[in-house]
Amino acid sequence: MKRPTRPRSHEQLEFVVNSLFFCPSCTIWRTARPLRCGFRRALSTTRRNSAIPTSHTAVNATKSVPARYKPLHEALGEVWKKASAQVNLSRLQLALQGLESETPATRVAVLGLNVQDTARRLVRLLLADALEDEGSWEKHILDSTTAFSHGLVIRYGQPPNPNLPQPRTSTPILYVPSAVLLRNNMEILVSTIRGLGNGELLQGAHTVTADAFLSPSVGTPTAASGRQVTINQPVHSTLLVTNGLDELLAAAELLASTNFVAPEDRKSVQSVVNLEGIKPRAPGQVLIVDATKAEEGLAAIRRSVTEARTYEHKWIDSGLPSLTTWLTSASAARSDEPIPAPVKTLISSVLTNATRNLQAQAALEQRSNAARSINYATKAKLENLIEEFSRNAHQELQSGLSSAWRSRNWRKLAWYKLFWRVDDVGLIITDLVTNAWLPRTERAVYEISGRFSQAGISLMDVSHTDNTSTLPKTEEIVEPSQVLQAQAGIATEPAIEPVVVNRAGKAEIEMAPIPRPVPLSSSISTIRATQIDRAITSLTSTAQQIVLKTLSLTGLSAGLSGLTYVSVAGSMYEAGTIVALGTAFALWRMQTDWLNATKSLETGLHEEGKTLIRRIVGRMRDLVEQGSKIVEDEVEVRTRREAEDAVLRAKEELERLK
């Protein structure tokens, strides 16, 4: 069934009632009701737009960038990402903001030396309208006891209503209805810069950076707790204001101690001195003004228009026109180039500083790596030391083993003494290998380690293990284990790490022990202990088997001789012959087997010793070779190259716009 429509007059009446006649306590109920008018659509659109998340940073700016500036804007964004540690981010953000508009605003800093009094006087004279009465903003800017004592930003606009709550900003803002700001599309930062102290003057070096002028620090309003924070305020140009010859000399010393890396930075800083009673000359490196004379002329024309000639003479004699000319030339609104001159100068300065910082970083890393490397003389001494160590080690290995095999202790293990010495094989082998297998070489490795440490090289080796264990699976614990036992087990287990292996065409993750660096000097004792265990196990088992075989053959021949004697009556000669031959064969085999076993031991110890010496000598030579080379970190090199490429691309895009 069709729903009946309500008359149009009823809807209008309901809207009027709901809009005008309501109780204050029912406001939420009234605003919750749907509105049948265009205001409802406008309200929903406003709420929807306000819910869209926006970013106010320079990199993620949502503002539309002009088409001809987009490549440069993107290139500077890459500089922000790749070379953020080598650039002043606040100045780079100001450069990005300058590319987001066809008519970017220009920021100029007027800095007083230690105090703002003269700087505020000049800013007031530059912005004041001679045909208007004194404005309230002029009183605020000259009053040093106001909230602007730590610095302020001057923008074009009408002063806000003092009866309304004022917005809280990090830096105080003073709105001035000045035609100079409107015509030049300019903002002025008024602050101070600290002069050099006596200690800094004695240093005689570049102790101040250019950011002190082009990105000055401004104190925020003091909070209720008394805490104050300083923030950087980047600008395109800076006017350094001094009062009198003493401050002018202090400003000259400050500029001389400033490290202007980029030539554009020095050109962006202009000095002005307030000298009373001196006639200004043609503009030069330092502008000369007379603020008192300019204030007298401004006061004269404000008293009466008939004193316009007096105002003109005093204004020209004060030198303020040259300051006004500089302020106009610093504006981006007067530029006819493809990219405004202040923005181009700022971008060029940021990229030049980034290039110099990257070069300084590369040079610093190179010097640091060169300092860690050994020189040619030390390398030659270490190589001679390694040659001597190798020669002595091989001589000790040859002579030590030869002496051991001729020693009285080794003769105790003659083949015919095995019947009563078979249980002493382990003790004798341990004594011989410990005292004859590279004992002096082991001590020499400790001595060489000290010589290498003096040269800045650590004789460390990496222990590799081939054993891998699969990932542990969860098992059901039947009986609870004690905490101390669990901790002891964890402490004794080797450190492991997950590795990817490919078995049968299937990738699996297994836990492999992490290679541990161990001193190179401990390799001899470790391998000696391994050789001792291997020799004891092998020779003890061989000696026991040889004795058992000899006794078995002797017993078998004796049994065979007995059977011969019984079968052949009175054949003592034949029976004795069988016993003698069997015993002789058993002893000959016993001698042969034992000599082969001992010869294998001698050869194994000699070859293992030569292999170990070659490995130690090779490791030492590798460490010396690595120590004499300048090795750079691959991650740092790759990061620096990416930053250099980003800066180079930004320079190319900037050149394209010139």
Reported as a single tens digit per residue, the pLDDT across 139-153 is 888 876 666 777 889
Are residues 539 and 454 part of one domain?
A: yes
Mean pLDDT within 350-363: 91
Are residues 419 and 301 part of one domain?
A: no
Tokens of 184: 């030049």
Indicate the Cα dihedral angle 167, 169, 171, 174, nearest 10°.
-20
* Helix ranges (DSSP H) in 418-459: 418-421, 425-436, 439-454
State phi, psi for 489 to the nearest 5 degrees.
-65, -40
Are residues 624 and 539 part of one domain?
A: yes
* 64 assigned to some structural domain: no
Are residues 536 and 418 part of one domain?
A: yes
Return the closest-CA partner of residue 76 out of 361, 264, 344, 335.
Answer: 344
* 439 assigned to some structural domain: yes
Domain end: 268, 299, 331, which one? 331
Tokens of 657: 């716009």
Tell me the per-residue pLDDT of 468-506, one tens digit each, with 9 for 90 and over: 333 333 333 344 444 444 444 444 455 566 666 666 666
pLDDT of residue 428: 83
The amino acid present at 608, given as its one-letter code, is E
Are residues 286 and 393 part of one domain?
A: no
**How far is the C-alpha of 80 from the C-alpha of 464, rounded, in Å?**
44
**How far is the C-alpha of 148 from the C-alpha of 570, rounded, in Å?**
139
Are residues 392 and 319 part of one domain?
A: no
* 501 assigned to some structural domain: no
Are residues 395 and 262 part of one domain?
A: no
pLDDT of residue 208: 84
* 185/200: higher pLDDT: 185
Checking if the pLDDT of 527 tops 80, the result is yes
Average pLDDT score over the chain: 77
pLDDT of residue 430: 83
Domain tally, the chain: 2
Return the closest-CA partner of residue 623 out of 398, 437, 448, 473.
Answer: 448
* 202 assigned to some structural domain: no
Indicate the Cα dihedral angle 357, 363, 369, 372, nearest 10°.
-110
- Burial of 408: CB neighbours in 10 Å, binned 0-12, 13-18, 19+: exposed
pLDDT category at 347 given cuts 50, 70, 90 is very high
pLDDT of residue 155: 92
C-alpha distances (whole Å) from 536 to each of 84, 263, 404, 530, 542 are 65, 80, 16, 10, 10
| Contact (Cβ atoms closer than 8 angstroms) between residue 87 and residue 79 | yes
498: region left, alpha or beta (phi > 0 left; psi from -120 to 50 alpha): beta
* 48 assigned to some structural domain: no
Are residues 294 and 385 part of one domain?
A: no
* 343 assigned to some structural domain: no
pLDDT of residue 281: 67
Residue 487: its H or E element: helix 483-492
Are residues 286 and 418 part of one domain?
A: no
* 46 assigned to some structural domain: no
Query: Whole-model pTM?
Result: 0.63
Are residues 151 and 219 part of one domain?
A: yes
What is the residue-wise DSSP string for 288-342? Answer: EE-HHHHHHHHHHHHH-GGGHHHHHHHHHHTTHHHHHHHHHHT-STT--SSS-HH
The amino acid present at 396, given as its one-letter code, is E
Are residues 396 and 278 part of one domain?
A: no
Are residues 246 and 149 part of one domain?
A: yes
When mean pLDDT is compared across 63-77, 376-390, 499-513, the lowest value belongs to 499-513
pLDDT of residue 34: 42
| Contact (Cβ atoms closer than 8 angstroms) between residue 373 and residue 655 | no
Q: Which domain holds residue 290?
A: 105-160+167-197+207-331
Residue 516: its H or E element: strand 516-519
* 486 assigned to some structural domain: no
* 261/454: higher pLDDT: 261
